[in-house]
Amino acid sequence: MKISLATGTLYVYPLGTVFRWARACGFHGVELSVNPEAIARGGRAVQQMAGQEGVEILTVHPTVVPLPGWWERRAGMGPTIRLALETGAGAVVTHTPPSESLDAGEGLAFRQRVETWQPRLAGTGLILAVENKAIHHEGARRYALSPLDRLRAFADRYDLGLVLDTTHAGTAGEDLLRARQIYDERLVNVHLSDVGGRAPLARLPLVRTHVGEHRIPGAGDLPLAELLASLAGEGYAGPVTLEVNPFEVRAWWPPAVRRHLAQAAAWMRRAVGLRGESAF
């Protein structure tokens, strides 16, 4: 199992800094969130920089900011996939559409993207992996790929990997161990974060998703330690990626960032039974 850090948590920091902190805090590698620096440097240069800092680029995530030409729902997956191929990552993340049908509108566009890219990825070593959706309103439960069994069936149909986002599963009321069983051998990445617990202003709807979700593991109510112990016991060998909101690591203050990242990495290592440098 690889302990990974999502660079999207520290989106505004230079990638070299994030890579250096990731290594120093005990992460094996990172999930690269596409940002202007990654675009400007190109995938190969970013891969080389990560290697110089002692971490792997394990997975690639679409930009979290609507950058022109790179926004996932506006034809941005093409360049994102090409960048991921250049980095040598094992998987590139995509997200399910807010659509009740895969035969019209955004649902059809999503299915067509998958049908276009899957043949091109054959033999490259890069897996296209779909992430489960958060549920913030009842209408989202009716989306075609919100139910995990339908998401699994879609992945089977197109030979896709699956990403288990624990916060998204928590908002949907899913049992994490059951979700892991549904994903089974399709699981290629876990986006690890917590939901709930005590957080400032978390009861206010406008800020709940910023401070009450994607929290540091152990800060909320999800059985994350049990999930990681189960994965370790089953011999899961893929990445588990810390993907928390910037407030959780106090992203505006570098000393606090490093402290919170080190604490989170240590928590993850304990949960899966990793110890010291021998884990690398």
Mean pLDDT of 256-277: 90
Mean pLDDT of 134-155: 96
Q: Terminus-to-terminus CA distance in the chain, angstroms?
A: 10
Q: What is the pTM of this model?
A: 0.93
Q: Where are the domains of the chain?
A: 2-279
d(CA 97, CA 110): 7
Mean pLDDT, all residues of the chain: 93
Q: Tell the CATH topology of 2-279.
A: TIM Barrel (3.20.20)
pLDDT digits (tens, 9 = 90+) for 5-24: 999 999 999 999 999 999 99
pLDDT at 127 > cutoff 60: yes
Give the pLDDT of residue 278.
Answer: 35
- Cα→Cα distances 274→28, 110, 278, Å: 11, 38, 8
Give the pLDDT of residue 201.
Answer: 54
Give the pLDDT of residue 46.
Answer: 98
- Cα→Cα distances 89→98, 224, 279, Å: 27, 25, 20
